[in-house]
Structure 1
Amino acid sequence: MPIRPPSAAALFPRPRLRALLLPVLAALMLFALVLAGGPATHLAAYAADAPADTLRYSWPSNVGELNPHKYSPNQMFAQGMVYEPLVKYAKGGAIEPCLAESWTVSPDGKVYTFTLRKGVTFSDGTPFDSQAVRMNFETVLANRARHDWLELVAQIDRVETPDARTVRLVLKNAYYPALQELALIRPVRFLSPSAFPPSGNTNDSIKAPIGTGPWKLVETRKGEHDVFERNDAYWGKKPAIRRIVVKVVPDPNTRLVALQAGELDLVFGGGGHGGGQISLDAFDALKKGGAYAAFLSPPQASRVIALNSKSGPTADIAVRKAILHAIDKDAMVKGIFLNAEQRADALFPPTAPYCDLKLAPYAHDTARAEALLDEAGWKRSAPKGPRMKDGKPLSVDLCFVGNDALQKAIAEFLQSELARVGVRANLIGEEEDAIGERQKNGAFGMVFGDTWGAPYDPHSFVSSMRVPSHADYQAQLGLPMKADIDANIGKVLLTTDETARRNLYRDILTTLHEQAVYLPLTYQSSMVVHTARVDGVRFGAMDSEIPFEDMRLK
């Protein structure tokens, strides 16, 4: 793994000293990077010619080919810029018209009939009509296995198109979150028929990322930047900004340097979306400095560690419970999050539907943690170092995205807390794709696996627990009642009885809580930092979207 620069917290442990010296550190880092011809050189070279109508943003990687029906390496925020849904998710959980101007639902809940908006075209001029909608649905349905985390795809029986402006979705069963899942950024959004490959199957490839949305992807340079331009043929309110340059900046410290040097206009992210764009230490210093607008979103999802119940020491429920009791979350919230996020004691925030269950939290209690480990046969062989059992150390791999400043800081904190009770946490920091592979194949002891926020939680998230390619499935695989959990998930998604639905969610979430499969950390927020050059910045209704179309440049 490449060596990363030390975090600001490591260099300057005292918050006041950090606030004073971060700008000096940033300037020195920028100077060093320019001399070395590193990433800041590219930023400075591009910024020197940045037009007045260009917004400069950054992301840890390129946005990908932007296939609307596929996942990584396609970046969700960028897919949301180019492609649109039939209906959109709005603040407070409302479902509003988008490419469909209206819809009706049959009394039995199985048939959704959409009337498409008039006069909409894709950015290449191709008409948006029912045949384009059907073509996109059919390629998604042809690849159901790829989308098996999303119950809606499994429930669609057929797509009917009585005329050019009418689309009828016929479901196998009534499915209560259907509209919420139609609003998601992927996979049910719409690519121009002209951009489909000859096979008609977008699982193979796409010719170009052509949607109906307010933005067009016009240039990609690997490892450097992606460029979006305003779609002047957009059917809705057109963005005020003409151009967005998304620079590839993998390292949070380099991003901070670029922002303070005037090479970036905006930092947006920091929850589940975008990982640690900059550290919370840096965010706090910038906010207090007053030169930038800096603010946090309301809690959007849960920041969670999944524990592997199938293999390694965490296969023992006593070890999992001991780990949960060992962590002083209040100290973490104060020391790492600077009280910017709230402590989490359950898998989902109590504000999520069906999730205000008031489950008894695993309180910070090192004595209880040590007693559990003693009872499980993990004994201390020395005052320091890991406990031992059958000649083996109590050692757990804690996996995180290596260039995510926040995950790294949390991982180091957890390592320190667990060492106090005799658990050795081996920190494994890797690229995002590598961590994704670990989540798919279960090659972890503990791994970051945050919930998804609205409109996914809880239905889409628990649905994905049944899919082997997700960390939650792998984490739960060793539970003796895993089959019962999966069966109850299938029932809760399809029942039309509200009381039964509430009881099933209670059973599912209570079982997972009692089995100590998850270490909830905080209810996470996203951050925004922007210069005085940008106005109209707000958070979207979904954590994974960035409302660039509302922003203006002064």
Structure 2
Amino acid sequence: MHPRKSLTLALAGLMLATASALAQPTEIRIGVALEPPALDPTAGAAEAIDVVVYQNIFEGLVRIDQTGAVQPGLAESWTISQDGLTYTFTLHEGVTFHDGTSFDAEDVKFTFDRLLAEGSVNAQKALYEPISDVTVVDPTTVEFTLSRPDGLFLFNLGRGDAVIVAPESADNNGAEPIGTGPFAFVQWDRGSRVVLEQFGPYWGDKPALTKATYLFIGDTATMTNALLAGDVDGTNNFAPEALAVFEGNPQFKVLVGSTEGETILSTNNAKAPFDNLLVRQAMAHALDRQEVIDGATYGYGVPIGTHFAPHHPYYLDLTSTYPHDVEKAKALLAEAGYPDGFSATLKLPPVAYARLSGQIIASQFAEAGIELELINMEWAQWLEDVFANKDFDLTIISHVEPFDIGIYANPDYYFGYDNAEVQSLNDQLNATTDEAERLALAQQIQTIITQDAVNGYLFELAQTGVWNGKLDGMWQNAPVEGVVLRDIHWVE
């Protein structure tokens, strides 16, 4: 071959390769079922907030990876005193918030003073109660003093509730969030989408993605069509009843993993007749857990008998405590003074697992004489009426916060359970770092809340993601709430 022709072909090949490289996508469109009520994870309980902002817009001193392990975040390292009461964090230098203001130890102190303040609206404020003082040693060093050892302190610092915010922007983070993360907030078209773009001056490793758009699509059929048409590139948690459309299709990746979502028939323990243990036990016997799993999760849910994730080493299998037994349920209702049963309302948030579970449970309860009126609610209404105002009889919800059994030690929590023994055991659990002791205490609490039938324990929610087959780096499991963008990238 003529050398000049060979050179021309080589250059053409190089140009084609370069064009191909330039054509590699760097944007992603993610479909999510729920629109967040706001975008500040330090001021709201909704998982939908963290799905958009966790580790994307906002970062903590540490971060949780997809295995559930604690990794460095805004703190590059830390030391722990021998008595477990002093944590000293060394912060990364050169970090800025998305509005250009600098990050340093003063922002850390501000964040936790605000979180622990009397008027704080942080949904998990109780988790940080052991913090007695936060001291700025110098701009890149901050010291936490605890009132007691806390075996989950570092993990809790990695949750969305503890991301670092700045005094200059904190008050407006609900509408225009400003953090230190690899992606900056661009716009929120309410009812439609949130747009994020890569933050140029980001202090850490640059993500492959330059832009991410979260599209709010609550209807399964619409989400299915959007995925098939390529209008969205993936979703982290797709309706299991429609997964068969994508399984075996090489154009898509179906990722089935675990979550921290204990799905429960949440019960208002402070309200008659549910303040009666016999009534709650009757409801537990009326439940056919496997039927709910088969009907509401299409077999993907894992049965639970208590409020704990089955994949956790502390989990105790208590699923046989109240076996499905309609006659036993009727006998317990009669003993409780309800020989003819009773009527109640079941308020359901707008997620498929709740709506489907509600229909199945209503049928099961009817066999025992309990008539349920199903009330479908939008997410904001559910958060206000049920979670905040405790205006409900029964509801169905997946509690997705990791290691959240401590909510049973809070009598003011929305399901109104008040048990001094559980509160004492939880205090002991929080105070010890010895693994054998923690295991024993956690299993004691699990046993008590199951025997008390505080709630109807149904199943652990699976994470069922559907993604474009050319995407990689998505989390298969969900040890914390969020759709973390940092490792997602397009491949050939």
Q: Which residue of 111, 133, 140 maps to 2:86?
A: 111
2:16 alignment partner in structure 1: none
Q: Does 1:434 align with 2:381?
A: yes
For residue 323 of structure 2, give the secondary structure of its aligned residue in structure 1.
Answer: coil
For residue 225 of structure 2, give the secondary structure of its aligned residue in structure 1.
Answer: helix
Q: Does 1:348 align with 2:316?
A: no
Distance 2:309 2:35 in 1: 32
After TM superposition, list the pairs within 5 Å mapping 1:86-235 onto structure 2: 86-143=61-118, 145-147=120-122, 149-186=124-161, 188-196=162-170, 202=171, 208-235=176-203
Check the 8 A contact 2:38/2:175 in 1, yes or no: no
Check the 8 A contact 2:44/2:122 in 1, yes or no: no
Question: What letter is aligned with 1:441?
Answer: N
Distance 2:65 2:176 in 1: 29
Distance 2:329 2:82 in 1: 53
Task: Describe the shift of the 1:502–1:510 C-alpha distance in structure 2 as closer, same or farther (beyond 3 A).
Answer: same
Q: Which residue of 398, 419, 437 maps to 1:450?
A: 398
Residues 457-491 of structure 1, C-alpha deviation per residue, up to 9 Å, x if partnerless?
1xx441464162x324x2x15xxxx2333233233
Q: CA deviation at 1:194?
A: 3.9
What's the Cα RMSD here? 2.7
After TM superposition, list the pairs within 5 Å mapping 1:428-507 onto structure 2: 428-437=375-384, 438-452=386-400, 456-457=402-403, 460-463=404-407, 465-466=409-410, 468=412, 470-472=413-415, 474=416, 476-477=417-418, 482-495=419-432, 501-507=438-444
1:265 alignment partner in structure 2: 233
Q: CA deviation at 1:218?
A: 0.6
Question: What letter is aligned with 1:195?
Answer: S
Check the 8 A contact 1:149/1:464 in 2, yes or no: no
Q: Does 1:330 align with 2:290?
A: yes
Q: CA deviation at 1:161?
A: 1.4
For residue 84 of structure 1, give the secondary structure of its aligned residue in structure 2.
Answer: coil
Residues 379-419 of structure 1, C-alpha deviation per residue, up to 9 Å, x if partnerless?
3xxxxxxx35xxxxx11211211x31221111111111111
Q: CA deviation at 1:311?
A: 1.8
1:75 alignment partner in structure 2: 49
Question: What letter is aligned with 2:466?
Answer: V
Q: Does 1:413 align with 2:360?
A: yes
Check the 8 A contact 1:150/1:463 in 2, yes or no: no
Task: Describe the shift of the 1:310–1:344 C-alpha distance in structure 2 as closer, same or farther (beyond 3 A).
Answer: same
Q: CA deviation at 1:342?
A: 1.9
For residue 529 of structure 1, give the secondary structure of its aligned residue in structure 2.
Answer: strand
Q: Which residue of 382, 396, 399 maps to 2:347?
A: 399
1:13 alignment partner in structure 2: none
Residues 49-92 of structure 1, C-alpha deviation per residue, up to 9 Å, x if partnerless?
xx943211233454455335311577112221101111122354
Check the 8 A contact 1:62/1:226 in 2, yes or no: no
Q: Does 1:295 align with 2:293?
A: no
Question: What letter is aligned with 1:444?
Answer: F
Residues 207-247 of structure 1, C-alpha deviation per residue, up to 9 Å, x if partnerless?
94221111111112222221100112222221212111112
For residue 180 of structure 1, give the secondary structure of its aligned residue in structure 2.
Answer: helix
Distance 2:257 2:215 in 1: 23
Check the 8 A contact 2:95/2:203 in 1, yes or no: yes
Residues 243-301 of structure 1, C-alpha deviation per residue, up to 9 Å, x if partnerless?
111123233332223223321111112xxxxxxxx432112333255542222113533
Task: Describe the shift of the 1:92–1:110 C-alpha distance in structure 2 as closer, same or farther (beyond 3 A).
Answer: same
Question: What letter is aligned with 2:71?
Answer: E
Gaps of 5+ in 2: 1-23
Task: Describe the shift of the 1:161–1:53 C-alpha distance in structure 2 as closer, same or farther (beyond 3 A).
Answer: same
Task: Describe the shift of the 1:514–1:254 C-alpha distance in structure 2 as closer, same or farther (beyond 3 A).
Answer: same
After TM superposition, list the pairs within 5 Å mapping 1:51-62 onto structure 2: 52-62=25-35
Question: What letter is aligned with 1:184?
Answer: R
Check the 8 A contact 1:305/1:447 in 2, yes or no: yes
Q: CA deviation at 1:206?
A: 7.1
Check the 8 A contact 2:68/2:479 in 1, yes or no: no
Distance 1:532 1:206 in 2: 34
Q: CA deviation at 1:166?
A: 0.6
Question: What letter is aligned with 2:223?
Answer: R
Determine what percentage of the aligned residue pairs are the same residue.
26
